[in-house]
Amino acid sequence: MQTQTDIKAVGISLASLCFFLLVWEWICRMGLIEPLFLPPPSQIVARAVKLIENGTLMAHTLASTRRVMVGFMISSLVAIPVGIFIGSSRLLKSVFDPFISLLRPLPSMSWIPLSLLWLGISETQKYSIVFMGSFAPSLMYIIEATKNIDPLLIRAARNLGASRVDVMREVILPGALPQIIAGLKVMLGIAWTCIISAELVAAREGLGFMIMNGKEYFQTDTVLLGMVLISLTVMIIDVVFKTFERRLLPWTR
């Protein structure tokens, strides 16, 4: 029954998308909107085919995806243990809270001048932009997820003889993990914002570079194609995330 409901929902979503694209195409064909400002979907597809044939589309997409995933994974690997330790200790939270509050509001664009000065126009600079733009917000999500663990569960585990490490591993981490993963999925979108910002300013390849290049040559179809590819890439990664989440958190089904 659930499978039929899911199939029906997917069918409705696809029908809605097709209808939107048909209306968009019709409006452009009727000349109601200038192609320079909003090209029809068929023109965007034609541009995609052309870029696939010369090999640049895949190169730009893979470059941006690699930068996002490397920076995001480094940020997550650092933020998860640090956030759990800070969230489970009032002393650590008091020590680090001012620094987190200072870093959290800073947008990724604000880090670009310093990162260029420190690292130059390199791949490491792109990774650092993703890391610095997503680390503090990820840390906040993880700290809050850790703080939301029921204190009675922690007390019960300690009364049964569990050590501090055991409480971390068996109570706090499994309890906070659903919220942590939900927060990381949100942060993945922010990581894409970070890398596109970096590629708009200083890059020789990537979707951000492709969008900026299209803007310079008044190729609106290239700009929209880059935007669509960002959305499609995030959707694919989100599906992978959900599969990973089902395997890692079977008790949440």
CA–CA separation, 63 vs 226, rounded Å? 13
- The answer to which of 166-170, 210-214, 230-234, 249-253 has the lowest mean pLDDT is 249-253
124 and 71 Cβ atoms separated by less than 8 Å = no
**Closest to 126 measured CA to CA, from 79, 195, 76, 192:** 195
Write down the pLDDT at residue 228.
Answer: 92
Write down the pLDDT at residue 1.
Answer: 53
pLDDT, tens digit (0-9, with 9 covering 90-100), for 119-139: 888 888 899 999 988 898 889
Q: What percent of the chain has pLDDT over 90?
A: 25
pLDDT, tens digit (0-9, with 9 covering 90-100), for 203-248: 788 898 999 888 888 889 999 999 999 988 888 888 888 887 777 7
Give the CATH number of domain 41-252. Answer: 1.10.3720.10
- Burial bucket for residue 69 (CB in 10 Å: 0-12, 13-18, 19+): middle
CA–CA separation, 123 vs 84, rounded Å? 30
pLDDT greater than 80 at residue 77? yes
67 and 195 Cβ atoms separated by less than 8 Å = yes
Structure tokens at 22: 């048909």
Q: What is the pTM of this model?
A: 0.83
Write down the pLDDT at residue 9.
Answer: 77
pLDDT, tens digit (0-9, with 9 covering 90-100), for 135-149: 988 898 899 888 888
Higher model confidence: residue 203 or residue 16? 16
**Closest to 202 measured CA to CA, from 50, 67, 103:** 67
> How many residues are given for the chain?
253
Write down the pLDDT at residue 8.
Answer: 79
Structure tokens at 147: 């703080």
Cβ neighbours of residue 1 closer than 8 Å, sequence gap 6 or more? none
Residue 218 falls in which region: left (phi positive, over 0), alpha (psi -120 to 50) or beta: left
How many CA atoms, within 13 angstroms, populate the side-chain half-sphere of residue 183?
23
Cβ neighbours of residue 238 closer than 8 Å, sequence gap 6 or more? 185, 188
Higher model confidence: residue 201 or residue 49? 49
pLDDT band, residue 3 (cuts 50/70/90): low
175 and 142 Cβ atoms separated by less than 8 Å = no
